[in-house]
Amino acid sequence: MLLALYPTPPLPFPITRIGSEQNQQKLRNAVSDVSKEIGRYYNELELEKKLGAIEEVEQAECQCCGMKEDCTTVYITEVQECYCGKWVCGLCSEVVKERVGRSPKVAMQDALNSHRDFCQEYNATTRLNPQLSLTLSMREIAKRSLENRKSVLSITKLSRAISYP
């Protein structure tokens, strides 16, 4: 009696013995579409988790040259692990790698200290007074040139003294 008052809604496809293979195929397609949607939804959730896990950026100062960069804490930690617990900017890291690669006897700490000393000397002289730095560099070049001339002259004088008794 109650069923007569509320008829069941019609199915989207008729159920017959002849079309049962078609119905099964439609059902498989529907299940496949639903599973694709679930997979897409799951991928979106994973992406949101990854994007939500992106860390805030903090400022790191290079231990050699003093340059400051904005980096994530994960990157800062990775760099510190490679360079004896010190954060080094990209340019300084390349110089240190070059120095270590050129002579394998040089330890990472020694290469870092050497480059840091060079940067500190550069920042103390060249950046503060470029004209004085140029003058000092020219003075060093002149000294080397004079030393080279003296060594060449002493060799030639020695050879002349030996050849003439």
One-letter-per-residue 3-state SS of 101-122 = HHCCCCCHHHHHHHHHHHHHHH
d(Cα 98, Cα 100) in Å, to the nearest integer? 6
CA 38 to centroid of chain Cα atoms: 36
- Which position has the higher pLDDT, 72 or 151? 72
Does residue 83 form part of some domain?
A: yes
Q: What is the pLDDT of residue 27?
A: 82
Q: pLDDT-based confidence at 70, cuts 50/70/90?
A: very high
Does residue 138 form part of some domain?
A: no
- Which position has the higher pLDDT, 98 or 134? 98
Point out the least confidently predicted range of 19-28, 86-95, 142-151, 152-161: 152-161
Q: What is the pLDDT of residue 60?
A: 93
Q: What is the pLDDT of residue 15?
A: 55
- Record the tokens describing residue 145, joined without a space: 């040139």
Which residue range forms the structural domain that includes residue 62? 55-129
Does residue 62 form part of some domain?
A: yes
**H helices of 53-107, where?**
73-82, 90-102
- Segment 59-73 mean pLDDT: 91
Q: What is the pLDDT of residue 110?
A: 92
Does residue 48 form part of some domain?
A: no
Please measure the distance between the N-terminal and C-terminal CA atoms of the chain and give it in whole angstroms: 143
Does residue 144 form part of some domain?
A: no
Residue 36 has pLDDT above 90, yes or no: no
Q: What is the tally of structural domains in the chain? A: 1
Q: Dmax of the chain from CA atoms?
A: 143
Residue 164 has pLDDT above 90, yes or no: no
